[in-house]
Amino acid sequence: MKRWADGFIAVDWGTTNRRAYLIEKGGQSSAEFEDGKGILSVGRGEFEAAIAEIRERLGEWPMLLAGMVGSNRGWVEAPYVPCPASGEDLARALVRIGDDVAIVPGVSLGDGRPDVMRGEEVQLVGAIASGQIPRDCLVCHPGTHNKWVRVRNGRIESFRTVMTGELFSMLKKRSILSDLLARRVTPREAFREGVARGLSGAGITSQLFEVRAGFLLGQIDPADGASRVSGLLIGEDIRVGLAEKPGARVIVMGRPELTSLYSSALEVAGIESESLDGEGAFIAGARNIVEQIQ
């Protein structure tokens, strides 16, 4: 059996997708793949086969699993670590399955405003440990459930979740606006106008219907519908996030197609931002946690 120090596989296993990376002894990723086998597509009793499939593609290496695979709907539940949380706290609370599989716990907030995260914590500790973000900052982590994370003294001190991505997906699939949301979202004029309206706090539910009414009355180009609605939702998202009192700038961490939208929206809000690739941060975080495995 190979040792963790010789190399390992890190898996960011979400609800609908999974991404796996082979990380060599020197800490670099030498192979990877992504597919649609998130936890919702893996039945009870099928996770061992799903693990074997990853090893068939990347090799017989120890495996670090993060994300929803450790939830109560995943393979084995990994209890939450309470804030403030560091990479060391996560490493101490790993759930071990034999000698060569470990599941990273999520992080929870329970100060009267309950909140949880799974997966983002690995990217955060990686960005902190590798010096990609300051030890005191505000991080915006776009995704299905966007996170606004306050980092203080190199630890995850607090955070707030906004269901922006999921709301947009639901509106696109099952709402009266669905026929207007088929186009790709771009951070241009319609998007920026939507952001400004969302930032105003004038009531997101009524503003969403105004998009439909504007289309019916010939005041809104249907080609702009998706960008305007996305802008409304992200503007409201940022209005909530800025209540976390940012400093001189916000770090936007995640996939480029999302970080570009949030950076553009923050510009509308008059807030300086810096984008950071979430994939590189995840690899750095997985490496940091594995270095502490005994």
pLDDT in tens, the chain (294 residues): 578 888 999 999 998 899 999 999 888 888 999 999 999 899 888 999 999 999 999 999 999 999 999 999 999 999 999 999 999 999 999 999 998 999 999 999 987 889 999 999 999 999 999 999 999 999 999 998 999 999 999 999 999 999 999 999 999 999 999 999 999 999 999 999 999 999 998 889 999 999 999 999 999 999 999 999 999 999 999 999 988 776 678 999 999 999 999 999 999 999 999 999 999 999 999 999 999 986
Q: How far apart are CA 179 and CA 39, in angstroms?
A: 29
- Radius of gyration in angstroms for the set of CA atoms belonging to the chain, rounded to a whole number: 20
Domain locations along the chain:
162-277
Q: How far apart are CA 106 and CA 78, in angstroms?
A: 7
Q: In this predicted structure, what is the pLDDT of residue 290? A: 94
Tokens of 117: 């995260």
What is the bridge-based pairing of β-strands 81-82 and 107-109? parallel
The CATH architecture that domain 162-277 belongs to is: 2-Layer Sandwich (3.30)
Q: In this predicted structure, what is the pLDDT of residue 260? A: 96
